A and B are shown apart, each in its own frame.
Chain A
Amino acid sequence: MLISKIISRKRTITKYTQQITDLIYSTFSFPTGSDGAGVTAVSEYENMRPDLMANRLYGDQTKWDAMLKYNGISNPFSVKAGDLLYALPFSALESVYVPPRDIAEREQKKETGAKSQVVSKKDKNRVNNLVRKNNNKNCDGVNVGANGELPPNLSKVGDKSVKVKDGRLVFGEDVTTVNKDNCPTPISRSRLQAALLKDKLFL
């Protein structure tokens, strides 16, 4: 059975209860070096059997998919006796399999754009210096406290009025920093029932 590592590494997404393989992002990385193993011919015995070729070349029949990808062949059964293929460099065998790139949600992508405000330690010091220099004004010129404390009506860096979460717009979540210690998972009838059944308290 031909199992392709390149395909099996692809990300799957659930859409309307169906599992769909996302083929957009590549899970194969072409080796950068040019120290290839040269060219090899497909023998009679290896007709339509790239796994046997991979076994002959690398001692590992699972590397057939990388070998074909390197040669730009997508149909494994199209390999015919007498064909000449480039051999994938032995040193690059493991590094050609890569995980798919993380796909940022539209909103997250925007936040990490050029205008994003990342507060590193250096940035914080710089802002504090500016505050002192500007007679307790922040870098925009707005009055702030001695250590850069903001008035109550101003948002902190990175705070958003609206956040996008799982296809929902959540409003004003950053107005307070939620104290999760005080609000554990809310009680619900189904959760309580499940807990009682689990502990065999209520049968």
Chain B
Amino acid sequence: MAKKDLITVVTDPKVPLKELWSTDDSQVSAENPFYVPGKGVRNAKTKTGSDKPFVKINSIPVTEIDMLVIDETGIIPKVKIIFVDGNGALSGANYPKNDPIMSVYIKPQNDKFKPIRCDFLITNIITSQDAIMNADSIDTGATFIMTGELYVPKIYNNVSKSYRNMNSKDALKAIASDNDLGFACNEFTPNDKMTWLNTNTSSLRFIEHVSNHSYLDDDTFSTSFIDKFYHLTFVNVAEQLNPLNEHNMTYDNMVDSSELDISQAVTDGKNPDLAEMLSVTGLTNKDNYRGKPEYIINYSLMGNTGSILKSKGYKKKVFYYDPSLQGAERFTSFFVNPVQIKGYTGENKGLEPDDETLRESIIKKWMNIDYGNAHPEWNASVLINDHNNSELNKVKLKVETAGINFQVNRGQAVPIMMYFPPTTHMEKNMQTKGGNVDGKTETPINIQDLVPDTIISGKYYVSGVKYIYDRLNPSFPFKTEFQLARVNWLGEKNIVQ
């Protein structure tokens, strides 16, 4: 039996991508007849996509990228790019009119990982018109701001189709196949066999519909999204939050600005042993990880508790009409509470309000008539999923890591080990040992003596990821921003080894 919190690929994607290419300058060819071997020079194969993203729009390479953000927080990945069209290549005939596709490639430092290779449908373009119109300053080029979303050719087509006698997982797998998407999930079998009907809506909306009505039991909830590798990912989120699951192992990312030669050797396959080095899929701010993609350079908490309590309540009272029952029982109601995450003892210590009014305030929800033609938990499932997914948004930990982190994906369960910043630790040390509190000590800080932050540390569910390239940030041009969610903020198992 596989690890229950591990998301694996069930079927591979078949979405046709545009060919993204550049000339091979490492050898003579028809494309490169004037080959001059350079000594110690990084060629296009090793360089492209590693110093900055490789982007092409209408076969025109975009070279002067100021910023690129790939946003994996919604149901489908989105992109935003700011660049200067220095030579005016995109301002004329190649302006993305008929073929508004932006191809993006970011290279992993270890070939064991897939690269980020996405085709985005450009949905919006803002251009600095002045630069184009003013012939005197044409040298500066126009600045383009483009936004787009992952191009899955058939995802917005209206479909009328039934998925007969399937549980939600099989239905989503079939929808993924119909749209040439791959399918990935963690191991669980929902108890919601029925005939799923797509009544002339887009596949994207139908994916949300099926996912919202998926049901395993009252203690679990699920969500789904399309990832940057073109997989429709269906996740049993409650399982991802279980602290008793062992940590997942994956390959080392090998990105380290101080060890560029090593990471390059790994990429070129010169040192296969290094490429097969393993590390725990996790993130930390421990000092000896500095420079690695799992090293947290920045973190903050994002809170939305009041707003969610206001609109959704801590618990909901649900009403519906069931014609199959007798008399007054036909008008039925039940409560929906946040689920108790497995692995934690006692009550939910996380986000239950202390204020009794907030805790007991009732949000009533009318769920229509249950005709009995769907699975038995049709009404409950949509509320359990919606209520618990909202619960995750109440407080989130936002962390930033240097470089592109290819190890941690959206939907995964990751252990986070946070330590107090050295200055705070030094002050504490001084206070306990009776030294002076000016922050200066003669003994260096021992890594073993670092004090873990038991509130922030612990196991999280990766609810969103942003991959950021910012040319104007010379220290960390590439960054990965993770949005991490959990329910039990005061859990007793926050120290992860």
Write the residues of chain A forming the contact surface with B, with a CB cutoff of 8 angstroms: 16, 106, 110, 115, 136-137, 140-146, 149-155, 159-162, 164-180, 182-183
Within the complex, what minimum Cβ distance (angstroms) separates B20 from chain A? Answer: 5
B113 within 8 Å of A (CB atoms): yes
- Contacts A153-B113, A176-B230 hold; do A142 and B251 have CB atoms under 8 A apart? yes
- Contacts A16-B33, A178-B14 hold; do A161 and B107 have CB atoms under 8 A apart? yes
Which partner residue on chain B sits nearest A143 by CB separation? Answer: B248
- Contacts A137-B249, A140-B251, A167-B29 hold; do A172 and B20 have CB atoms under 8 A apart? yes
Which partner residue on chain A sits nearest B33 by CB separation? Answer: A16
Show 7 A/B contacts (Cβ-Cβ < 8 Å), sorted by A.
Answer: A110-B269, A168-B23, A169-B44, A172-B114, A178-B15, A179-B16, A182-B14
List of B residues within 8 angstroms of A136 by Cβ? 1-3, 6
Most buried by B among A110, A146, A168: A168
- Contacts A136-B3, A176-B230 hold; do A145 and B115 have CB atoms under 8 A apart? no
B23 touches A151 (CB 8 A): no
A169 touches B21 (CB 8 A): yes
List of A residues within 8 angstroms of B230 by Cβ? 175-176
By DSSP majority rule, is chain A's interface helix, strand, loop, or mixed?
loop
Which partner residue on chain A sits nearest B251 by CB separation? Answer: A142
- Contacts A143-B248, A176-B13 hold; do A155 and B112 have CB atoms under 8 A apart? yes
How long is the Cα–Cα vector from A137 to B249 in the complex, in angstroms?
A: 8
How long is the Cα–Cα vector from A180 to B16 in the complex, in angstroms?
A: 7
B249 touches A142 (CB 8 A): yes
Within the complex, what minimum Cβ distance (angstroms) separates A146 from chain B? Answer: 4
Chain B contact patch, size range: 35 or more
Within the complex, what minimum Cβ distance (angstroms) separates B180 from chain A? Answer: 5
The 5 closest A-B pairs by CB, nearest first: A167-B29, A172-B117, A179-B14, A145-B8, A167-B31
How long is the Cα–Cα vector from A136 to B245 in the complex, in angstroms?
A: 14
B48 within 8 Å of A (CB atoms): yes
List of B residues within 8 angstroms of A166 by Cβ? 29-31
Q: Which of B289-336 contact A (CB under 8 A)?
A: none
B461 within 8 Å of A (CB atoms): no
The A-B contact count (CB < 8 A) is 170
Task: List 19 other contacts, CB 8 Å, given A167-B23, A171-B21, A172-B114.
Answer: A136-B3, A143-B249, A143-B250, A146-B1, A150-B9, A151-B7, A151-B409, A152-B229, A152-B231, A154-B114, A155-B114, A161-B108, A165-B21, A166-B29, A168-B31, A169-B45, A175-B13, A176-B17, A179-B14
Which partner residue on chain A sits nearest B107 by CB separation? Answer: A161
B227 touches A152 (CB 8 A): yes
A173 touches B19 (CB 8 A): yes
B66 within 8 Å of A (CB atoms): no
A161 touches B249 (CB 8 A): no
A154 touches B184 (CB 8 A): no
How long is the Cα–Cα vector from A92 to B245 in the complex, in angstroms?
A: 70
B153 touches A182 (CB 8 A): yes
Within the complex, what minimum Cβ distance (angstroms) separates B258 from chain A? Answer: 23
Most buried by B among A142, A161, A180: A161
- Contacts A141-B249, A154-B251, A172-B117 hold; do A164 and B9 have CB atoms under 8 A apart? no
B15 touches A176 (CB 8 A): yes
Which partner residue on chain A sits nearest B30 by CB separation? Answer: A167
A151 touches B9 (CB 8 A): yes
Most buried by B among A162, A164, A173, A182: A162
Which partner residue on chain A sits nearest B230 by CB separation? Answer: A176
List of B residues within 8 angstroms of A161 by Cβ? 107-108, 111, 114-115, 267
